[in-house]
């Protein structure tokens, strides 16, 4: 099990800014901050959370194929998924993927998208497409990644909060989200999909 020791904010701006700008774009969120990546050193492992790069696309696609099959027994069309993931990289208005690396290997990812809140006159980030490889689950990595997302949100004056949705039967995930200080008491999700 990974144990959080300390958060170390690293300035990786010189080699990584061009990659990050391909992800979401500075016109919305300025990732050109000293707090660009969060690096955790625990149990002699190097854990990094960062905005994804175009080169992460295929791995993110494989994560989504696995997640859909695992959680909904749904076999996604790989060509449709490829277009969907690459659309995020091509269009910063759609959102940005973020990844978790353990010893330079990407082992998890999530997608942040925007919702405009007129009540708050600001943006609410939604966490979508959350996936960690099975052997890395239950070790606190999502909790650490959530802290990374919170730090990004706190560095953006117009971001008012973070939301996600969870399957009603996934009580383990609900317990994790509650422990992180998220509240599931206010809303229920209804949808219509084609």
pLDDT digits (tens, 9 = 90+) for 40-52: 555 667 899 999 9
Residue 168 is predicted with a pLDDT of 82
- Assess if residue 13 is contained within a domain: yes
For residue 126, give the nearest of 160, 100, 92, 86 by alpha carbon.
160
C-alpha span between 184 and 58 (Å, rounded): 32
For residue 111, give the nearest of 192, 33, 180, 57 by alpha carbon.
57
- Assess if residue 185 is contained within a domain: no
**137 alpha carbon, distance to own chain's centre:** 15
- Assess if residue 187 is contained within a domain: no
Q: Where in the sequence is the domain holding 52, given as residue range(s)? A: 7-179
CATH number of the domain where residue 134 is located: 3.40.630.30
- Assess if residue 58 is contained within a domain: yes
What CA–CA distances, in Å, run from 174 to 18, 29, 178, 179, 184? 36, 29, 6, 9, 8
Q: Is the pLDDT of residue 14 over 70?
A: no
What interhelical angle do 171-179 and 141-154 show, nearest 10? 50
- Assess if residue 55 is contained within a domain: yes
- Assess if residue 96 is contained within a domain: yes
The answer, as to whether pTM is greater than 0.85, is: no
Q: Is the pLDDT of residue 133 over 50?
A: yes
**Residue 67, H or E segment:** helix 57-72
- Assess if residue 145 is contained within a domain: yes
Encode pLDDT of 135-182 as tens digits.
999 889 999 999 999 999 999 999 999 999 888 888 888 889 999 989
Residue 41 is predicted with a pLDDT of 56
Report the number of distinct structural domains present in the chain.
1
What CA–CA distances, in Å, run from 170 to 36, 133, 165? 32, 17, 11
Encode pLDDT of 65-97 as tens digits.
999 999 888 999 999 999 999 999 999 899 999
- Residue 39 pairs in a beta bridge with 8, 48
> Residue 39: which pLDDT band, with cuts at 50, 70 and 90?
low
- Assess if residue 174 is contained within a domain: yes
Residue 94 is predicted with a pLDDT of 96
Structural contact between residues 143 and 23, judged by C-beta atoms closer than 8 angstroms: no
């Amino acid at each position: 099990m990974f144990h959080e020791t300390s958060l170390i904010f690293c300035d990786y701006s010189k080699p990584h800014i061009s990659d990050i700008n391909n992800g979401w774009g500075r016109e919305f969120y300025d990732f050109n901050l000293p707090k660009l990546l969060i690096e955790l050193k625990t149990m002699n492992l190097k854990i990094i959370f960062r905005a994804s790069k175009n080169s992460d696309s295929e791995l993110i696609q494989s994560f989504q194929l696995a997640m859909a099959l695992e959680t909904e027994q749904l076999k996604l069309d790989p060509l449709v998924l490829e277009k969907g993931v690459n659309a995020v990289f091509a269009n910063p208005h759609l959102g940005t993927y973020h990844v978790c690396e353990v010893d330079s290997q990407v082992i998890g990812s999530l997608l942040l998208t925007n919702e405009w809140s007129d009540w708050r006159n600001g943006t609410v980030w939604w966490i979508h497409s959350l996936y960690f490889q099975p052997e890395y689950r239950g070790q606190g990595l999502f909790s650490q990644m959530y802290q990374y997302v919170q730090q990004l949100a706190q560095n953006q004056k117009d971001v008012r909060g973070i939301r996600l949705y969870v399957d009603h039967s996934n009580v383990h995930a609900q317990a994790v989200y509650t422990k992180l200080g998220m509240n599931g008491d206010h809303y229920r999700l209804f949808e219509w999909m084609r």
